[in-house]
């Protein structure tokens, strides 16, 4: 589970639910984020090419897809067969959806990584990334959202164990609390990216299938689902696979109506909290804490991977605010560039739960920073 909902690299947010920005800011050496991360949920094995008409195949695919370039016609037939045989979707539904879909060159352009540069990259400091999303207008919008949904935020937090300010941090970065949801056809984006980005074909083919399944469940034509060029949807920018797996309708029993992640703040908050719970969120535990002291301590051995909290304590690497967690708790040590220079933070398991949403340290640290800022304002 971002670009203001359209995954446009530098001036945007970090598109949600594990698609990630195309060109994310340079991350600190401690945690190199993947520029195009894999989805949170395991993707079934999906070969990049499936013969359109194998011996004994019953799929329907020998049709034209006139809204796609000629060079992709054979692959579109392979995709049509794949969706029927591997994903169990009805032939008529698949063919109709794909024939009404359209190749989106703009989505491909946005999501195509920039070519390598011979010049060394200039590090982009975390505090500048953070400040784009913790500006006063963003905080004002968050306070307004809190005032309108305080009881709901408290109820969702009590049920799922995820604090309201953390959920607000996600909505802030992803869509500015729903002010920019994206206007790309999700089906068109997923199909186009599956065709044009060979290295991500399996991922976007899976999202194509999930988009068709989601449209079936919602009872809407597949082409009407709107979102980012990476296929993320709604106020919290869920991919289709995350929508189906983690989307919940607030206070409705299982088997009830599908959640509305575009227009229902209750469904959005509950689904986002459910996503965090599914990625290991620990109620009542901290996210990040700045390191206190440690002058002269050799921190290099701790800047990669995770280590038992007791090992950091033994090396005199201690948080400013004690966590109360057992020494066996696996934690990371981050070096983030703040206004005051390189600064060390201890990253607790909940930090990595946020990284399940977007595996970029800058993103997760900014969700935390926004949550802290909103909490201070709300608490006076």
- Under the banding of pLDDT at 50, 70 and 90, the label for residue 254 is low
* Beta-carbon count within 10 A of 61 CB: 25
Question: Which of 6 and 184 is assigned the larger pLDDT?
Answer: 184
pLDDT digits (tens, 9 = 90+) for 285-340: 999 999 997 667 889 999 999 999 999 999 999 999 989 999 999 999 999 999 99
Exposure on the CB side of residue 256, measured as CA atoms within 13 A: 11
The class of domain 70-108+182-279 in CATH terms is mainly alpha
Instruction: Check if the beta carbon of residue 208 is closer than 8 Å to that of residue 187.
Output: yes
Residue 259 sits at the vertex; the CA angle it makes with 254 and 263, to the nearest 5 degrees, is 155
Residue 56 pLDDT exceeds 90 = no
Residue 216 pLDDT exceeds 90 = yes
pLDDT digits (tens, 9 = 90+) for 164-203: 999 999 999 999 999 999 999 999 999 999 999 999 999 9
Q: Which of 34, 16, 19, 79 is nearest to 52 (CA)?
A: 79
pLDDT mean across residues, the chain: 86
pLDDT > 90 in the chain, percent: 77
Report d(CA 143, CA 211) in Å as an integer.
33
**Residue 294: its pLDDT value, please?**
63
Quote the pTM value: 0.85
**Residue 123: its pLDDT value, please?**
83
**Residue 17: its pLDDT value, please?**
52
Instruction: Check if the beta carbon of residue 16 is closer than 8 Å to that of residue 240.
Output: no
């Amino acid at each position: 589970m971002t670009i203001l909902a359209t995954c446009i690299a530098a001036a945007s947010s970090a598109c949600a639910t594990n698609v990630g920005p195309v060109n994310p800011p340079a991350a600190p050496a401690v945690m190199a984020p993947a520029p195009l991360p894999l989805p949170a949920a395991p993707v079934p094995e999906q070969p990049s090419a499936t013969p359109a008409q194998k011996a004994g195949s019953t799929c329907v695919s020998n049709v034209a897809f006139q809204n796609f370039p000629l060079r992709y016609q054979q692959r579109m037939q392979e995709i049509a067969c794949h969706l029927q045989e591997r994903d169990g979707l009805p032939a008529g539904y698949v063919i109709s959806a794909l024939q009404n879909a359209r190749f989106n060159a703009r989505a491909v352009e946005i999501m195509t990584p920039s070519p390598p540069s011979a010049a060394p990259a200039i590090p982009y400091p975390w505090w500048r990334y953070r400040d784009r999303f913790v500006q006063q207008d963003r905080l004002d919008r968050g306070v307004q959202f809190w005032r309108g949904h305080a009881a709901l935020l408290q109820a969702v937090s009590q049920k799922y164990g995820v604090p309201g300010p953390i959920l607000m941090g996600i909505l802030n970065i992803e869509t500015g609390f729903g002010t920019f949801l994206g206007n790309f056809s999700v089906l068109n984006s997923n199909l186009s990216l599956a065709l044009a980005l060979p290295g991500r074909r399996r991922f976007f083919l899976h999202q194509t299938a999930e988009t068709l399944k989601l449209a079936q469940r919602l009872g809407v034509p597949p082409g009407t689902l709107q979102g980012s060029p990476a296929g993320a949807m709604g106020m919290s920018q869920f991919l289709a696979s995350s929508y189906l797996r983690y989307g919940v309708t607030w206070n409705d029993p299982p088997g009830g109506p599908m959640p509305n992640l575009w227009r229902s703040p209750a469904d959005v908050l509950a689904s986002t909290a459910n996503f965090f719970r599914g990625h290991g969120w620990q109620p009542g535990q901290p996210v990040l804490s700045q390191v206190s002291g440690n002058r002269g301590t050799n921190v290099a051995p701790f800047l990669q991977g995770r280590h038992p909290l007791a090992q950091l304590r033994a090396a005199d690497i201690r948080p400013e605010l004690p966590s109360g967690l057992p020494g066996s708790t696996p934690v990371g040590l981050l070096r983030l560039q703040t206004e005051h220079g390189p600064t060390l933070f201890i990253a607790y398991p909940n930090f990595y739960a946020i990284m399940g949403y977007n595996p970029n340290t800058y993103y997760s640290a900014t969700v935390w920073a926004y949550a802290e800022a909103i909490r201070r304002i709300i608490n006076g």
